[in-house]
A and B are shown apart, each in its own frame.
Chain A
Amino acid sequence: MKKMHEEYAPRSWEQGMDRRTFLKIAGVTGGLLTMPGIPLKDLLAADPRIELEDPSYKSLYGVKDYYLQDPKWVEQTLPRLQWPKAGERVPEISVLTVSENPFWLDFMRKVAEDGKQIGLKYSLQQVSNARWLDLINKHLHGDIELHPSIIRPERIDASEWLTSRAHGLDRRNYGEWVNKEFDEVIRLQSAEIDPKKRLQHIWKGQKIIAEDYYIAQFGWGPFIVEAYNKNLWEGIVQSKGFGIASSNLFWTFLNIKPKTSRKRLIVGSTQLIETTNIFAAGHRFRSIGRMIYDRLAYLDKDLNVVPWAAESWEVLDNRTWDVKLRGGMKFHDGKSVTVDDLKFTLDFMLKYERGIFYTANQFLESVEISDRGNRKVRFRFKKPYAEFETYFLQLNVILPKHLFEGIMEKQKVGDNPRLLEIAHPIGSGPFKFGPYKKDVEMILIANKDHFAAPKIDELLYVVVPSVDGMLGRLETQEIDVAEETYLRPSQVKPLQKIKHLAIMRTPDIMWFHGVPRASWLPWRDIEFRRAWHHSIDREFLIKVCWEGEGRIPTSNTFFVAGNPWHNPNLPPTPHYDLKLARQILKDAGYSWDKEGQLVYPPPTDKKFIERISRVCKEGYTWGGLKMLPRS
């Protein structure tokens, strides 16, 4: 993980300039603000007062344009690292919600209302999805980062969540929690290729997060409830965590059989693909593209890794694997898939690709054809790599060498494969790219030569921009199934009356959680975090926001009960109890002013000082931001 940021040498923190001086200069120079070459951010940011307990984490905080290099981050962070004065109130808790997910706001309003009972004031702001992504990426989201799970096959690996959301050097650790024991566990699990031993490390990681009252799981779910036309179709496959009609785990599309002569399955979708270029793919082509470009491995409906384009793989040592390519595969233009295509693909990725495939391939050292006769390719990683099966093989595709060789030069796109124009993607997958009309419909034609050939002839995706429109078309039989459209009970009820529709509920592995800003006051205080966890009414989320379609988490972990990585031995989720929350705060030295607002413990409270400095639970070591020196 450190290597990700190594090329950014930490800026000289002594070059910082305070904001007031900067504004004076800006006011005088005016138009010079837009002149290139003036390192304005350098002038303002990199406040030298902000330090880390463990300097080895500096590489993250010195990343260009973020953290210490971002004046806004510095401006927001500084006040939260200052020792509270006597009688100082706990500041407003700021939370961003996304307008596309109204239940976030509904739920946080309840949390805010309950927060008043313990003296907390919340500030809720609703923004667009793009704006939310922008702010959380820059760590400008405020006190609590809300996040739902977005599941993809390569995200089933435990690292995808444990590392990304909680490792001290990962930018997606939105609470900036730096627990050195946890980071050590992550290091161990990422290098442990024995699945059983790795699982033990992963269980330990979950335990540390839970014991430290870091991420609060609000709800597990919502449930995956979908509908399809049972009069016309049979052979639906329920894939755990993905449902019956997911392009990410498309077992239904392979196995579904018509009950009539129509062999075209019509799937309603709120959105089609953004692009046909796999390198520039967003969420949609990453999922639909799986059916066009074979991955090396796949997941079965119970989320076990199964061979796919890779027939088998063999561990040679903890950083080397021999992968045997499946025989008899052909690209959609009839050319055979060979080990040369596989080697070419990874070489191409290593040379040019710095986007989604880079997240796995950055750890790859070399790719060689080790046994051409037996179709074997050797992958050697820079260091022990535990995610080989569950991430690397799930993510990587096989590109046709005969089409991609020299393509960068032919299309004059320099080093950026995102600019490639690939009007008609050719892969080796179970479906071929067919007629496509942007934002209207797309046809995928079954590849009958594929080793997992679909039983249907065609998959027709039709754009239906709204969920209500989707339900209407299910009713009128204009579509057979709606892609990844999870229904609420109020929507299911009228559908149950429609005779040709079957309602299916699939076990889910989803969650919705809140990440407190552990590096900031008041969250640095573990007792405050513990009290806050007890102030969350999870039942409200499940019963009201999700209309009963979810589970109250039994423990604070991403890996819900039913997830292959779930640790069943975790401490239970703190139960909703405002009186207890208040008592915890009182025992921790907090008080309330005349207006009922929560006040920090007095500056002389030694236990408070000790907790704020330590941040983590006793026995764990904090490596993150330090409090500013006392004035």
Chain B
Amino acid sequence: MTGLKKYILMRLISLVFVIFCILSIIFVLVKFLPGDPTAIFVDSRFSPEMIDMQKKLWGLTDPLWVQYLSYLKNMAIFDFGRSFFQIQPVREIVLEKLLNTCAMMVPSVILSVVLGTILGAVAGWKRGSKFETTMVTTSLFLRSAPSFFVGILVLMLFSYTLRWLPSGGMSPPGTAAGFWQTVFSVGFLKHLILPTIVLMSREITGPILLLRSSMLEVKGSDFLDILRAKGLSEAQIIKHATRNALLPLVTYVAVMTGLLFQGQVLLEIIFAWPGIGREIVTALKDLDYPVAQACFYLMALTILLMNFIADLLYGFIDPRITYN
């Protein structure tokens, strides 16, 4: 077996173990949340047999170890059961919300990474310049500002004052359609602008600052002198330097993407975006265990997967890295 294949196999095995631990922790945390999930919808005038029937249906009357094993089995096959509160299958609920969150996050992530890389690389290359100072100061400022605060400011300016852009939702009222129809509509693009601006304002700062620091290290490398001696242009040299400075960014982007896909609850409320963040908060508030468990599980899987991808990408980006 080659080194890479062996590495992948070892990582997959450890991934399974980590997932098992995470699932167990999720089970314990959610199960031991104080409160009775039937309380939110059950009226005390309902017949006792109905309340009992409901609890039995949800498996809440089974012994804990039975509930745990059943839970592990269902999670392994991505069968999340039905929502206590909304009755419909959890898979449908969560998938829909996850897609909505992706619709908000993906453009922001891509734009943040691409623009942030370019700006950070140039800032690092032009050490001591006004450009670098401006980039660093602005990045630190934007990084410290809470995104919900920026969101409110942006709404006040562009929606309520200038009336240029809509104040929330994914599409114009009355035009809600399936996910793909919505995403490929002009109305969606208009609705996407403000959340993207707000998310980018924060997320672009990471790549800028990271690339700048990384570039400062790479800038003094010998290989750049050789490239200069070979007669390459400044732009080409920056390109080569950037490629070498990218490594730390790979990990950062992987982790950032994983975290972002947990949803931005406050932004989803401000922009009335029906994403996974709001769904998790609602599920926890209403003690809707199946939804809460499914959301946490998928979030954990996303982060683990992104980390795994980052580790693999390392080898492609930097040929010096091997998997022996």
Contacts and interface: CB of A to CB of B under 8 A. Distances in A.
A466 interface: yes
Contact of A476 (B34, B44, B46, B167): B167
Given A64-B48, A437-B176, A438-B96, A137 B88 contact: no
B258 interface: no
Contact of A355 (B43, B88, B168, B279): B43
A362 B47 contact: yes
**Max chain A Cβ within 10 angstroms of own Cβ: one of B42, B85, B173, B279:** B173
Nearest to B67: A34
Contacts of B35: 128, 130-131, 134-135
Contact of B269 (A137, A466, A473, A476): A466
Interface stretch (A273-281, A373-381, A555-563): A273-281
B274 A129 contact: no
Contacts of B45: 4, 164, 172, 358-359
A133 B40 contact: yes
Interface in A131-179: 131, 133-135, 137-138, 164, 171-172
Interface stretch (B9-17, B57-65, B192-200, B295-303): B57-65
A475 B162 CA distance: 12
Query: DSSP class of B's interface residues: helix, strand, loop or mixed?
Result: loop
B63 A35 contact: yes
B166 interface: yes
Given A36-B63, A130-B286, A435-B176, A8 B48 contact: yes
B34 A359 contact: no
Given A34-B64, A134-B39, A469-B167, A478 B48 contact: no
Interface string A451-488: 00000000010111110010011011011000000000
Interface in B81-128: 85-88, 93, 96-97
Given A418-B87, A441-B174, A473 B46 contact: no
Nearest to B62: A36
Given A275-B88, A418-B87, A463-B274, A355 B173 contact: no
Interface residues of A, number: 58
A415 B177 CA distance: 35
Contacts of A359: 43, 45-46
A34 B96 CA distance: 36
A421 B87 CA distance: 9
Interface in A11-44: 34-36
Interface in B154-203: 155, 159-160, 163, 166-170, 173-174, 176-177
B86 to A, nearest CB: 5
Contacts, number: 140
A435 B181 CA distance: 14
B274 A439 contact: yes
A418 B54 contact: yes
Given A464-B168, A469-B168, A478-B166, A358 B46 contact: yes
A446 to B, nearest CB: 14
B40 A463 contact: no
Contacts of A362: 47
B217 interface: no
B196 to A, nearest CB: 18
Given A34-B64, A130-B40, A274-B86, A464 B50 contact: no
Contact of A464 (B63, B177, B272): B272
Contacts of B176: 435, 437, 440-441
B163 A476 contact: yes
B221 to A, nearest CB: 51
A628 interface: no
A462 B169 CA distance: 9
B234 interface: no
Contacts of B97: 439
A479 B278 CA distance: 22
A568 interface: no
21 contacts: A8-B48, A128-B35, A134-B34, A137-B39, A266-B173, A280-B41, A282-B85, A354-B49, A359-B43, A416-B54, A438-B96, A440-B170, A462-B169, A462-B272, A463-B169, A463-B274, A472-B160, A473-B167, A476-B159, A476-B160, A479-B173
Given A274-B85, A355-B46, A362-B47, 18 more contacts: A128-B285, A130-B37, A130-B286, A133-B39, A137-B44, A164-B45, A172-B45, A275-B87, A282-B40, A354-B47, A358-B50, A359-B43, A441-B176, A463-B274, A469-B270, A472-B159, A472-B167, A476-B167
Instruction: Return the 3 tightest CB-CB contacts between A and B, nearest first.
Output: A354-B50, A134-B39, A437-B176
Interface of B: 34-37, 39-50, 53-54, 57, 62-65, 85-88, 93, 96-97, 155, 159-160, 163, 166-170, 173-174, 176-177, 268-270, 272, 274, 278-279, 285-287
